[in-house]
Chain A
């Protein structure tokens, strides 16, 4: 089934540890995104990539890094996790990158708890 696969679905992590959330899409979409969703704050963009080999910063990029070595994969890394990074993380993709007609397809999310 075409779509986005995120892993892990849930993780509890000690503060200070490094963590990589994985995201893979099989739709050959050009653009990929990482959002975090927190109660009362909605979805906030962390990082994005309009095409393989390029990345950009979103609204809340601090403490996170991404890479886009190929079209399908867009991992999100927390170099040294802090409790404020406890959240649900969603990966998304869209056919067009810097386009006015972006329609996003979302993964099922990764719930991260940092203690």
Chain B
């Protein structure tokens, strides 16, 4: 079953605007990751935020994590047409017996219009 759920399912913005995507999850996590997928390609890791972190930056990406609300957001600032892709959150949670499970959400499809 899906642990993370992204919102919105699809987002269309003009180039230069900021894009915000949200992810909600149900159980306690060890960390949360965001991945990007260009059409017809595999997923590419963007950023990882640990459960004891509240915010993390990487270039034009800003990720926040609120463990009390079980939610995360990915902000892409000053968007470019090349940012057009689907974005997935993935949660890592302890699944017992020393193992961790990584579960992906269904993704947000971002379209950046030039």
Contacts and interface: CB of A to CB of B under 8 A. Distances in A.
B88 A42 contact: yes
A98 B98 contact: yes
Nearest to A109: B42
B13 interface: no
Contact of B33 (A59, A103, A108): A103
Main secondary structure of the interface of B (DSSP, over half): strand
B99 interface: yes
Contacts, number: 56
A24 to B, nearest CB: 14
Interface string A49-84: 010000000010000000000000000000000000
Interface residues of B, number: 26
Contacts of B35: 104
A103 B48 contact: yes
A94 to B, nearest CB: 8
A60 B56 CA distance: 33
B44 A106 contact: yes
Contacts of B99: 50, 98
A42 B1 CA distance: 11
A49 B48 CA distance: 22
A41 interface: yes
Between B2, B41, B43, B106, the greatest number of chain A beta carbons within 10 A of the residue's beta carbon is seen for: B43
A35 B2 CA distance: 13
A92 B33 CA distance: 15
Contact of A99 (B40, B100, B103): B100
Contact of B43 (A98, A101, A106): A106
A105 interface: yes
Contact of A40 (B30, B94, B98, B106): B106
B93 to A, nearest CB: 9
A50 B101 CA distance: 11
B28 to A, nearest CB: 12
Interface in A7-35: 35
When A and B form their complex, which 10 residue pairs have the shortest distance between CB atoms, in order from nearest? A106-B42, A42-B106, A100-B30, A98-B99, A43-B104, A106-B43, A100-B100, A108-B42, A103-B45, A42-B104
